[in-house]
Amino acid sequence: MNARERYNKLSTGRDQFLRTAVECSDLTLPYLITDDLSSHPNHKKLLTPWQSVGAKCVVTLAAKLMLALLPPQTTFFKLQVRDDKLGEDFPPEVRSELDLSFSKMERMIMDYIAASSDRVVVHQALKHLIVGGNALIFMGKDGLKNYPLNRYVVDRDGNGNILEIVTKELIDRKVLGVELPEPHPNSPNDEGATSLNGDDVEVYTCVKLDSKSGRWVWHQEVHDMIIPGTRSTAPKSASPWLVLRFNTVDGEDYGRGRVEEFVGDLRSLEGLSQALVEGSAAAAKVVFLVSPSSTTKPQTIAQAGNGAIVQGRPEDVAVIQVGKTADFGTAANMAQTIERRLSDAFLIMNVRQAERVTAEEVRLTQMELEQQLGGIFSLLTVEFLVPYLNRTLLVLTRSGEIPKLPKDIVRPQIVAGVNALGRGQDRESLTQFIGTISQTLGPEALMQYINPSEAIKRLAAAQGIDVLNLVKTEMELQQEQQQAQQQQVGQSLVNQAGQLARAPVVDPSKNTNPIEGMQEAAAQAQPPE
């Protein structure tokens, strides 16, 4: 079975989730997810919602998730040596040196991520997750690429593990570099769809997990033919294809979005907003009624200017008033109630007031997400951060930008989600430990039992600070100690010479034997043993 047939077969199980995602997108961000009626864009005009609360909810929650998953000021992971390997392969004394080296490597990896466009694509994928519950990210050589739900299908096993991924996209035939038959104008192509642009062709990418080798393999097809040079493989633990879900339901191949959970409130708010807008427009219209039997002519009223004097009777003219003020108030109060519920559900009640993002703010945001979303944030850390980090480490290791890490000794650890502590928590624990010793046992015990050099190295590693040329090494401390001793000895010799010069026994007028006098003076200046 070719990729096109496989895509069409798996798309039947996706239709229900896609329809729900399109409805949720219409109530929040209409441009985000569209129906997959054909593989070609229909360029239809998108409907604009009557309210902007849904869009604000999605954008705010996506920004908070972005801040928690990929924080700008700190790392979302840390490299550490397994505790059981410290006594075997490494002596325990080198732990601080290893932490400093790992901290430097972490900064290099975060600098690589910051220099790329990964954050932009991840933020777009997060909006797809919130609205549609599903997103697909491909980590290619040129950066990340996000696939919406209407462009891919998946197949999972009973445990929710990915078995197969098939994507569909439009690519210009000139870009492919493959000889293809020219399409006839206004005629269906081989896939059974009518092309709006004759230069575009449907390209299918089939991704499968090879049971024999345990690796991911994929290739691309066009017109049911494999494109030469598109076959590729990747390790199972470092796949460039990241299939993300916001919320999972046992037995389903696709996820559920946050908007779907509150789609009832969004529908109600949409109807109330439309009624309020249209009713307010009708109430704002001013219409004058003139009695048909009156002597006052309507033309006179219509043509009269401001302050004009015309003939007529006041009782002949009346103004239409919409007596719906109470109904408007009830609808407005209900709309405000729904808006408050949505604001609380999408975490837009707590407005950030700081000028820059701090590590404590990131930690509090992560804890808030974990408490409000009930473990959904932890699912993102498992399905996104772990494979994203593994793939990034593999790419940087292959390019030689970072050294290869032994898998059985060094392992990366995600410090987001429930474990949203990171090295900042390590610093807090270390400082609290040192402060407790000083307060309980006194500063003397602190200086006696705590190694200052080791404490400084661990604090620097916890802060992610490069200590090169900042903290003195053991050799520099020894050199400074030797220099201080030499200066002390030199100062002692100078003091001795001064005492010799001031001694009266060396005065010739007072001592006829200068040699004996000098010996006696030297003996007096000699410090006692």
Tell me which of 259, 276, 303 is where a domain ends: 259
147-162 mean pLDDT? 92
pLDDT of residue 431: 78
Angle of helix 53-69 versus helix 118-132 axis, rounded to 10: 130
Can you name the residues that pair with 233 across neighbouring β-strands? 217
Asked if 421 and 283 count as a contact pair (C-beta separation under 8 A), the reply is no
Q: Cα-flanking dihedrals φ and ψ of residue 278, to 5°? A: -65, -40
Which of residues 396 and 286 earns the better pLDDT score? 396
| Rounded Cα distance, 401 and 393, in Å | 10
Which range (123-132, 163-172, 188-197, 273-282) has the least confidence? 188-197
Asked if 232 and 217 count as a contact pair (C-beta separation under 8 A), the reply is yes
In degrees, rounded to 5, the angle at the alpha carbon of residue 460 between the alpha carbons of residues 394 and 114 is: 40
Helix ranges (DSSP H) in 284-324: 298-303
pLDDT at residue 527 tops 60:
no
Which range (214-228, 350-364, 379-393) has the least confidence? 350-364
pLDDT of residue 93: 61
| Rounded Cα distance, 162 and 10, in Å | 13
Residue 394 in any domain: the answer is: no
Tell me the two tokens of residue 340: 């408050």
Same domain? For 82 and 105 the reply is: yes
Residue 30 in any domain: the answer is: yes
19-48 mean pLDDT? 78
Tell me which of 259, 275, 307 is where a domain ends: 259
| Rounded Cα distance, 367 and 420, in Å | 7
pLDDT of residue 421: 43
Number of domains in the chain: 3
| Rounded Cα distance, 464 and 481, in Å | 29
DSSP class per residue in 21-72: HHHHHHHS-TTT----SSSS---PPPPPPS-SHHHHHHHHHHHHHHHHHS-S
Residue 339 in any domain: the answer is: no
pLDDT of residue 52: 92
| Rounded Cα distance, 258 and 129, in Å | 8
Same domain? For 429 and 502 the reply is: no
Same domain? For 83 and 148 the reply is: yes
Of 391, 385, 371, nearest to 413 (Cα)? Answer: 385
Residue numbers of the domain that contains 512: 475-525
| Rounded Cα distance, 502 and 208, in Å | 96
Same domain? For 444 and 480 the reply is: no
Of 147, 200, 205, nearest to 170 (Cα)? Answer: 200
Same domain? For 459 and 517 the reply is: no
**For the segment 269-315, what is each residue's pLDDT rounded down to a tens digit?**
999 999 898 888 888 888 888 888 888 888 888 888 888 888 888 88
| Rounded Cα distance, 462 and 294, in Å | 89
| Rounded Cα distance, 76 and 412, in Å | 10
Same domain? For 93 and 60 the reply is: yes
pLDDT of residue 524: 56
Of 77, 84, 82, nearest to 103 (Cα)? Answer: 77
Most confidently predicted of 77-91, 132-146, 281-295 = 132-146
Residue 55 in any domain: the answer is: yes
Which of residues 324 and 501 earns the better pLDDT score? 324
**For the segment 55-65, what is each residue's pLDDT rounded down to a tens digit?**
999 999 998 88
Same domain? For 196 and 144 the reply is: yes
Which of residues 118 and 315 earns the better pLDDT score? 118
Beta strands in 246-314 (DSSP E): 288-290
Q: Cα-flanking dihedrals φ and ψ of residue 171, to 5°? A: -135, 140
* Percentage, residues of the chain above pLDDT 70: 76
Tell me the two tokens of residue 69: 């998953």
Task: Count other Cβ atoms within 10 Å, centred on residue 521.
Answer: 20
Query: For residue 166, what is the enclosing H or E element?
Result: strand 162-172
Type of residue at 281: A
Residue 135 in any domain: the answer is: yes
Q: What mean pLDDT, rounded, does the chain reach?
A: 80
Same domain? For 429 and 519 the reply is: no
Type of residue at 109: I
pTM to 2 decimal places: 0.74
Tell me which of 220, 238, 259 is where a domain ends: 259
Which CA distances in Å does 21 have to 182, 236, 336, 380, 477? 36, 29, 25, 19, 65
pLDDT of residue 39: 44
Residue 76 in any domain: the answer is: yes
Same domain? For 457 and 492 the reply is: no
Which CA distances in Å does 343 have to 49, 67, 339, 416, 434? 17, 18, 6, 24, 42
Residue 141 in any domain: the answer is: yes
pLDDT of residue 48: 83
Strand order in the sheet with 143-147: 143-147, 134-140, 241-245
Torsion angle, CA of 476/477/478/484, rounded to 10 degrees?
Answer: 110
Beta strands in 188-284 (DSSP E): 200-209, 215-222, 225-226, 232-235, 241-245
pLDDT at residue 517 tops 50:
yes
- DSSP β-ladder status, 77-81 and 410-414: antiparallel
Can you name the residues that pair with 220 across neighbouring β-strands? 205
pLDDT of residue 215: 92
- DSSP β-ladder status, 134-140 and 143-147: antiparallel
Same domain? For 438 and 499 the reply is: no
Residue 127 in any domain: the answer is: yes
| Rounded Cα distance, 519 and 334, in Å | 108
